[in-house]
Structure 1
């Protein structure tokens, strides 16, 4: 969901803790990670607030992919925790590849502060890769928190959020939901827990969507339930503009309780994103026109 839903409230809370070590031929502990959909948030988005994360989207069936990955592994071993290499197997993590807009294998993307900074396709020489990495490090100099030298330097993490995130990474949505609800029971104004709970609720709803729901909704625009489910499916499929457009069109066709229901769902979906996102701003404007 990283490409569709802005998890900034979660990634801003946690500080990455890449281990440092001496320059040498072996990658520093935690400097090379295998990334999947389950740990993408923690290993890429969160850690990129501390140091750049170089995401290599590759396939084990591709010799150029393996050669590029091995070259990056040698380079990260030399740099003492100043950046992290994240290996993504696109054969088993298609959503991550889709989120990055991958069109060729291998593709490399440097991520800093949760955002793509630079990318290239194909294989380059080790000398070219070294120059590219050096340019990335120079571009972010002084802008990231930097490698954490010791556990004492890191801000303490709230164990309640740690437990919730561990449940989420394990696929235990009910456990994550219960953990965030417990935080809100104790601190009703906790904005971070509210944001996290909205994301968990959306993911839980999207995971049980019926097959072919978008086609079903297209076939009968008067079916409100189908429209709501189809919008969830489009959002889960990294297409927020399509989801918003569908619900705005449904608002125009409805009245009374039905219109209120659709409008409420649309506002809930808006809350999954940074309100300054251009597509959210545009959709809010279109909703206002549809209502008035």
Structure 2
């Protein structure tokens, strides 16, 4: 099991697992599209009856869902781009193509108002990505972000991309066991008990200060706790009323990050640091380090922000 709690930029509010469980009939095994040149298991066609299979697959490998229609010219432009980019990942991603007209339940689950609509599913949770045909470079960047976030959540499996690889590698990788303290934290998050989750991650870090998963998990659950019960309008109004209030500005940065506005969050805190001294400056620095962990220390946006942070400290 992986941590299912994702920033709003990646995770939607709906858990597909619950929706899939409503099917009375067993989920059909999705089949590769007959018209696709995609590698076996990498490009598949699914319908409403396959929802449970799609959810289960997303716990092992990120699934890109493309809701399309044959009559839609943008759909016909986008699908080959998605197929090519997904195939290039050699099993790290799966593309699930859905006919929006014949699969209304999936279209509704992803709130598809038009075709093509593209979303991701990671650990059973959907996330809107984009609508309409997009330039290949932009689509590639979106898929890279999906892979990065999936790695943070522990969804790092692969599917076979050909018969030879299937014979040697097997159809399903064996997931690593979740450490007990991590599992305790994830269960506490599921229950809305952020204090217990924080304590579990802190204990895991005390036992192993190099536990990067626990460090990132702790930063993430702290953010969830800070935003719990607070409305976006309330947070932004408080910050606008007192621009020099470091706590209010840090909360807006939390909100920005949770909404996927990573660079806005970093810029707000870096600009704030330039006007602060002493303990307040240190407090903002520590908040930035937490946000770096949530985004991922290898992210180029983190590298750029860290470089500026260094100049502000000296």
CA contact (8 A) 2:274 2:312 kept: yes
- What corresponds to 1:254 in structure 2? 276
| 1:113-159 superposed Cα distances (whole Å, 9 cap, x missing partner) | 9529xxxxxxxxxxxxxxxxxxx9759x959x76328xxx5544444
TM-score normalized by the length of structure 1: 0.56
- What corresponds to 2:288 in structure 1? 266
- What corresponds to 2:88 in structure 1? none
Query: What number of residue pairs does the alignment pair up?
Result: 223
TM-score normalized by the length of structure 2: 0.53
C-alpha distance in 2 between matches for 1:57 and 1:177: 38
What pairs with 1:1-292 in structure 2 (closer than 5 Å)?
1-2=6-7, 30-33=52-55, 44=58, 46-48=59-61, 53-56=63-66, 67-68=99-100, 70=102, 88-90=109-111, 100-103=128-131, 114-115=146-147, 147-148=171-172, 155-184=176-205, 186-210=207-231, 211-292=233-314
Which ranges of structure 1 fall in alignment gaps of 5 or more residues? 7-18, 34-41, 59-63, 74-84, 117-135
CA contact (8 A) 2:253 2:265 kept: yes
Which ranges of structure 2 fall in alignment gaps of 5 or more residues? 1-5, 12-26, 32-45, 69-74, 76-96, 113-118, 134-138, 149-158
| 1:15-69 superposed Cα distances (whole Å, 9 cap, x missing partner) | xxxx99797x996794133xxxxxxxx974x421xxx6242569xxxxx998437
Aligned-partner SS, 1:272: helix
Q: CA RMSD in A?
A: 5.0
Aligned-partner SS, 1:221: coil
